[in-house]
Homo-oligomer: A and B are copies of this chain.
Amino acid sequence: MEMHSKKRIEILLEAPAQKRLTDLLDRLDVNGYTVLPVIGGKGHHGVWSREGLPSAAGTMVSVSVIASEERLDEVLRPVFELVRRHIGIVTVSDVMVIRGDRF
């Protein structure tokens, strides 16, 4: 099948800031995003786990955006600006999609 090359931006971010990020993505007019749950992890800020926590504080989510190579920088810059203030990391990887016009 014919496939088109795109970029997948994955943003691991502390959960209380999720709305800030998705509002930003809306403003950046990306075609879509997907939010995945995360149950724990470890980094410079120490170990954390979602278990037993009654609020969003102390938990993280992963938001992934598939975008075309051309739009990458345009999206990445403001996203990174936001993530920099919060606990979070941003990764980018290559991905192929089938309906290329949709992303």
Contacts and interface: CB of A to CB of B under 8 A. Distances in A.
- Chain A binding surface, main DSSP class: strand
Given A91-B96, A93-B95, A36 B36 contact: yes
Q: How large is the interface on A (under 10, 10 to 19, 20 to 34, 35 or more residues)?
A: 35 or more
Interface string A17-60: 00000100110000111111111111110000100000000001
Contacts of A94: 93-94
A96 B38 CA distance: 20
Contacts of A3: 92
A36 B33 contact: no
A97 B93 contact: no
Given A90-B97, A91-B95, 6 more contacts: A33-B41, A34-B41, A37-B38, A37-B39, A92-B95, A92-B97
